[in-house]
Amino acid sequence: METVTEANGVWQECMKIIHGRVNNLSYKTWFEPVVPVSLSNHSLVLKVPSQFFHDWLEEHYSTVVNESVKVVVGENARVEYTISDEDINETEPLFYRPAQPGRPGPQSLPATSQRFSAKPAFESNLNPRYTFDNFIKGDSNQFARAAAYAVANNPAGTSFNPLVVYGGVGLGKTHLIQSIGNYARQTGRAERVLYVSSERFTVDFVDAIQKDRANEFSAFYRRMDILIVDDIQFFAGKEKTQDNFFHTFNALHQSGKQIILSSDRPPKELKGVDDRLVSRFTWGLTVDVQPPDLETRIAILRKKSEDDGIHMPDDVIEYVAANVTSNIRELEGSLISILAKASLNNREISVDLAKEVVRSLAVSRKTAVTVEDIQKIVSDVFDVSEEQVRGKTRKQEIVIARQTAMYLTKELTQLPLKTIGSHFGGRDHSTVIYACQIIAEHLANDDRFREKYDRIKKKIEMIGM
């Protein structure tokens, strides 16, 4: 614990320096959410909320951060980041962990590609960010929320067992099912709560089989008071895993434990999932979440900006709510992008800015553009070859084409910087960052360049049509 306190103190000092060097909005947006995790061997570990957040900090504020840390800790100080996002890449199977609190703290991983969860110790695997309190109610989710709340208040005590929540991407399924777990634990209604994705369950199961630890695996899952399994559609086609899950399900159900599942479609429409399992899924209650209506979208945007301590003018909120209609993740994404653009370019948060953000979101969604598409179109417009765009040539006109392509890839795909670099002759993430800075400058200062850039972007927009 000592290093945490120390890390806290160090980070507080750094924050003072940073506050003097960036504008207030940037400070609120990009530095207040950062949590110091540990300090050892001159390495300060900072936890950030997402990969996007991490990339953004690295891209725009690495100098400020590094310099402030050097001032506070000393010349040889380093900063490492961990991401509290999702636990996709945890390698240690869940069931190997000690069941009591006090799991060893986060270890630092190599910079940039690290992705480990800094969630609370204990096996629950729940993200404390997901609560009923910050789940906005609306017609689209009212019934699902009420059912979830009932289950949270009385795990295994209602006929909603299992509770299955289904619906499209980004509509709040994970948020809702984790809220049940968080609530039940916090109020003492359940002690042993476990959240896993079905993929995680599968990977751990395969691992257990290989290591001859299948019994341990089964025993672990059957100890839970509440078992939450996310995205069960990924069980499709995995017969052995399904078989194990079938028995786990029965064991839990029979001993009066609560099971909560989510899926991207109603259980009956699951393909490649054994009928007997599907029939179990329909024993309890199945509820859906629908895309949010306009009022709910407005309420969500208000709440999120309030939570971030950011003032979003009403017209901006209404513009975004009216134009980003598909799902809540994209709503959040637009909000972050607006903040990002405003804080970076020192611009006011305005409807114009919102329009820009919504437009590039629309482009990337409509076209599902690939790196190859971008490379091809950029090489056409710049009149160089695609190989040159990907290659090593340092000729000025090729370098600028390559940097433009990198910039567009960053803008229009969700790819991490490292991956982008790998598509351009195996360059590293700092090269991509540098390219993005150069292009941002050209766009701001060079009308001829901007015209070319707009032409490229139009061509990309045409792809999906």
The one segment of 8-16, 165-173, 342-350, 371-379 that binds ligand ADP by CB under 6 A: 165-173
Q: Which does 169 bind (CB under 5 to 8 A by kind): Mg ion, ligand ADP, none?
A: ligand ADP
* Cis peptide bond upstream of 128, omega within 30: no
**Which residues, other chains included, contact 29 with Cβ-Cβ below 8 Å and sequence gap of 6+?**
308, 310, 339, 340, 343
From the list 174, 182, 198, 337, which residue makes contact with Mg ion (rule: CB under 5 A)? 174
Token pair listed for 331: 């709503």
Chosen residue from 7, 44, 83, 171 binding ligand ADP by CB under 6 A: 171
- Which residue is at the shortest CB distance from ligand ADP? 172
- Count of alpha carbons within 13 angstroms of residue 252, beta-carbon side: 30
Where does this chain touch ligand ADP (CB under 6 A) — which range of 96-104, 118-126, 133-141, 393-401? Answer: 133-141
Q: Is there binding between residue 300 and ligand ADP (CB under 6 A)?
A: yes
Find the shortest distance in angstroms from Cβ 245 to ligand ADP: 19
Q: Is 93 in the site for ligand ADP (CB under 6 A)?
A: no
Token digits of residue 52: 């996007």
Determine the angle formed by the axes of helices 239-254 and 198-210, rounding to 10 degrees.
100
**Residues contacting 400, CB < 8 A, separation 6+:** 382, 442
Is there binding between residue 301 and ligand ADP (CB under 6 A)? no
Please give the residues from 207 up to 236 whose contact with Mg ion meets the rule CB under 5 A: none
- Burial (CB < 10 A; 0-12, 13-18, 19+), residue 152, is buried
CB of 228 closer than 8 Å to CB of 248: no
| Helix or strand run (H / E) with residue 332 | helix 328-345
Stretch that binds Mg ion, among 98-106, 107-115, 144-152, 172-180 (CB under 5 A): 172-180
- Evaluate whether 344 touches 57 at the Cβ level (below 8 Å): no
Residue 257 contact, options ligand ADP, Mg ion, none, Cβ 5-8 Å cut-off depending on partner type? none
Question: Of these partners, ligand ADP, Mg ion, none, which one is at the site of residue 284 (CB under 5 to 8 Å by kind)?
Answer: none
**DSSP sequence for 409-455:** HHHHS---HHHHHHHTTS--HHHHHHHHHHHHHHHHH-HHHHHHHHH
Candidate ranges 149-157, 162-170, 239-247, 404-412; the one touching ligand ADP (CB under 6 A):
162-170
Instruction: Give the footprint of Mg ion on residues 103-142 (CB under 5 A).
Output: none
Report how far apart, in Å, the C-alpha atoms of 181 and of each of 35, 135, 143, 168, 228 are. Answer: 24, 14, 18, 21, 8
- CB under 6 A: which stretch of 33-41, 42-50, 173-181, 369-377 binds ligand ADP? 173-181
Closer CB to ligand ADP, residue 135 or residue 245? 135
3-class SS of residue 43: strand
DSSP H or E segment with residue 226: strand 226-230
**Number of residues forming the site for ligand ADP (CB under 6 A):** 16
Our CB check for ligand ADP shows the closer of 161 and 327 to be 327
- Catalogue the long-range contacts made by 357-360 (C-beta closer than 8 Å, 24 or more residues apart): 357/320, 358/319, 358/320, 358/323, 358/324, 358/334, 360/411, 360/412
181 interacts with ligand ADP by CB under 6 A:
no
Stretch that binds ligand ADP, among 41-49, 100-108, 248-256, 327-335 (CB under 6 A): 327-335
Query: Which residue in 175, 189, 297, 442 binds ligand ADP (CB under 6 A)?
Result: 175
Q: Which of 169, 236, 294, 322: binder of ligand ADP (CB under 6 A)? A: 169
Residues that bind Mg ion (CB under 5 A): 173-174
Residues that bind ligand ADP (CB under 6 A): 134-136, 141, 167, 169-175, 300, 328-329, 332
